[in-house]
């Protein structure tokens, strides 16, 4: 009988964690980790945060050292050796750009996501930049120090983190957002308004409900033309308008794709031998809807879960998803999926720069946002992880102490 083989495609946070967790769960077959990029896998979340303001742009923060893969008998294949060009589901075989083929018993797709491109004339000019890879970050690190005027298209997490870094480095910064407020898909209006005020107080110009219709180069400058015909001149343009799932391998395999690779609660596709985890996976929610969770914490948890499934172990308790962002003096932390909220309650004083927004659905606590309030954020995580079914009445009492409540639950 042949040795069973797990093949993981994608060596980001999800893929590397899956390889390590499969070994940790006791799998003694072959583990192959494929990635079409060159170089050891590295961490990406810091790239848009403190990294751009740091002094050592060449330093990569590796997910694992080379010795990790050797110690755990993980066959890491990069470049053409790790690029999938075809999938034969019937034969459970992958075809690689190098010309080789690779059989699998279990296939885990962890291909992540890619930045959305700005779909306007001039959106692909060399003077228009994005931030996704280490090389992107190295380039922006130098350009930000030379730029006097920076235009950021997109008022979400990445765009605002870049804007804060650019302003800290002394550039004149303009953020252009097509929606009426910042982070409209991610945070409540209360938190969005606070962050908008903070950016403005630091000298960032915010153009809301403003679309970019064209970008052109004029000599050494780049000019963005808005829907109203206004022109914004910049030395540096950075686009941060979200990400889309990388589903190429899933499409080659013919498994369902709908804003991500469609999986069940065990991260299996409609083929019991093929799984998807991380940013590329479209996962079911309790309310019957589907979502893609673009966070390291979710990628790591999903990787651990799929390892347990492959190794025949029962699923572990799920952690509630959480996210974070640094912008100027604000540390924003979010726990739970609060898009389904129908009520909110503010705990603390936004004017003082430290507060929480508690979110409820049908009178039950489903998550919240914390600004410069890490103890309360941790308390909310503990309450949700423990399955506490708290009501609006319990959490909106004037004397509520989230940390004490988390300690009692």
pLDDT in tens, 123-174: 999 999 998 888 888 888 889 999 999 999 999 999 999 999 999 999 999 9
Q: Which of 245, 46, 240, 47 is closest to 158 using CA atoms?
A: 240
pLDDT at 141: 85
Q: Pairing mode, if any, of strands 281-284 and 290-291?
A: antiparallel
277 confidence band (pLDDT: 50, 70, 90): very high
pLDDT reported for residue 309:
96
**pLDDT recorded at residue 39:** 86
Band (pLDDT 50/70/90 cuts) for residue 388 is confident
In this prediction, residue 397 has a pLDDT band, given cuts at 50, 70 and 90, of confident
Q: Give the residue among 289, 241, 243 at the shortest CA–CA distance from 128.
A: 241
Range in 191-195, 271-275, 351-355, 385-389 with the lowest mean pLDDT: 385-389
- Say yes or no to pLDDT of 45 above 70: no
Task: Flag whether pLDDT at 197 surpasses 70.
Answer: yes
CA 179, 182, 184, 186: dihedral to nearest 10 degrees?
150
- Residue 44 pLDDT > 80, yes or no? no
Kindly give the pairing relationship between strand 5-9 and strand 106-109.
parallel
State the pairing for strand pair 149-153/172-176.
parallel
Average pLDDT over residues 375-391: 90
Quickly name the fold that domain 117-239 has: FAD/NAD(P)-binding domain (3.50.50)
pLDDT tens per residue across span 220-268: 899 999 999 999 999 999 999 999 999 999 999 999 999 999 999 999 9
pLDDT at 61: 79
Q: Residue 232: which residues within 8 A CB-CB, separation 6 or more?
A: 151, 174, 176, 207, 223, 224, 226
Does residue 99 register a pLDDT over 90?
A: yes
- The pLDDT of residue 139 is 86
Q: Distance between CA atoms of 17 and 303, rounded to whole angstroms? A: 6
Same fold, 5-114+243-310 and 329-408: no
Level-2 CATH architecture, domain 329-408:
2-Layer Sandwich (3.30)
Q: What percent of the chain has pLDDT over 90?
A: 75
Is residue 330's pLDDT more than 70?
yes
CB 131 within 8 A of CB 137: yes
In the DSSP assignment, the letter for residue 151 is E
β-pair type (236-239, 149-153): parallel
Q: What are the boundaries of each domain within the chain?
A: 5-114+243-310, 117-239, 329-408
- Segment 206-227 mean pLDDT: 96
Confidence of residue 279 (pLDDT cuts 50, 70, 90): very high
- Quote the pLDDT of residue 400: 83
Per-chain mean pLDDT for the chain: 92
**303 close to 15: Cβ distance less than 8 angstroms:** yes
How is 246-306 classified by DSSP, letter by letter? --HHHHHHT--BSSSEE--TTSB-SSTTEEE-GGGEEEE-TTS-EE---SHHHHHHHHHHH
Whether 319 shows a pLDDT value over 60: the answer reads yes
Percent of the chain residues topping a pLDDT of 70? 96
Beta bridge partners, 226, equal 212
Q: Which of 218, 213, 206 is nearest to 230 (CA)?
A: 213
Q: What is the pLDDT of residue 399?
A: 78
The gap between the terminal CA atoms of the chain, to the nearest Å, is 50
The conformational region for residue 99 under phi > 0 = left, psi -120 to 50 = alpha, else beta, is: left
Contact 136, 276 (CB under 8 A): no
Q: Is 1 a residue whose pLDDT tops 60? A: no
pTM given for the model: 0.91
Average pLDDT on 370-389 reads 92
Range with lowest mean pLDDT among 363-367, 378-382, 399-403: 399-403
303 versus 60: the higher-pLDDT residue is 303
Q: Which CATH superfamily is domain 5-114+243-310 in?
A: FAD/NAD(P)-binding domain (3.50.50.60)
Range ranked top by mean pLDDT from 164-168, 272-276, 318-322, 351-355? 272-276
DSSP state of 148: S
């Amino acid at each position: 009988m042949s040795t069973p083989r797990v093949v993981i495609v994608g060596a980001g946070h999800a893929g590397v964690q899956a390889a390590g967790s499969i070994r940790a769960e006791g799998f003694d077959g072959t583990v192959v980790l494929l990635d079409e990029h060159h170089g050891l896998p590295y961490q990406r979340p810091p790239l848009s945060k403190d990294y751009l303001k740091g002094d050592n742009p060449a330093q990569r923060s590796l997910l694992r050292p080379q010795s990790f893969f050797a110690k755990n008998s993980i066959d890491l294949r990069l470049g053409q050796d790790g690029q999938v060009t075809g999938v034969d589901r019937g034969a459970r075989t992958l075809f690689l750009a190098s010309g080789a083929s690779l059989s699998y018993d279990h296939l885990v797709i962890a291909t992540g996501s890619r930045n959305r491109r700005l779909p306007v004339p001039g959106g692909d000019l060399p003077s228009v930049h994005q931030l996704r890879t280490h090389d992107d970050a190295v380039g922006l690190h130098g350009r930000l120090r030379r730029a006097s005027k920076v235009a950021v298209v997109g008022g979400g997490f990445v765009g605002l983190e870049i804007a804060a870094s650019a302003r800290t480095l002394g550039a004149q910064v303009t953020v252009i957002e097509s929606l009426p407020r910042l982070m409209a898909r991610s945070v409540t209006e209360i938190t969005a308004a606070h962050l908008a005020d903070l950016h403005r107080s630091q000298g960032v110009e915010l153009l809301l409900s403003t679309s970019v219709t064209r970008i052109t180069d004029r000599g050494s400058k780049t000019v963005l033309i808005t829907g109203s015909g206004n022109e914004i001149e910049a030395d540096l343009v950075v686009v941060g308008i979200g990400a889309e799932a990388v589903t190429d391998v899933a499409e080659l395999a013919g498994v369902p794709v709908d804003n991500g690779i469609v999986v069940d609660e065990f991260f299996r596709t409609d083929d019991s031998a093929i799984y998807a985890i991380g940013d590329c996976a479209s996962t079911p929610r309790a309310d019957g809807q589907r979502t893609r969770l673009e966070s390291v914490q979710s990628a790591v948890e999903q990787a651990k879960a799929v390892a347990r499934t492959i190794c025949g172990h029962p699923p572990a308790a799920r952690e509630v998803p959480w996210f974070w962002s640094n912008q100027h003096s604000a540390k924003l932390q979010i726990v739970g999926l609060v898009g389904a909220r129908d009520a909110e309650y503010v705990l603390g004083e936004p004017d003082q720069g430290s507060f929480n927004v508690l979110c409820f659905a049908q009178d039950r606590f489903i998550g919240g946002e914390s600004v410069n309030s890490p103890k309360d954020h941790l308390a909310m995580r503990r309450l949700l992880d423990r399955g506490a079914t708290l009501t609006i009445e319990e959490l909106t009492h004037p004397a509520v102490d989230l940390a004490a409540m988390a300690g009692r639950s």
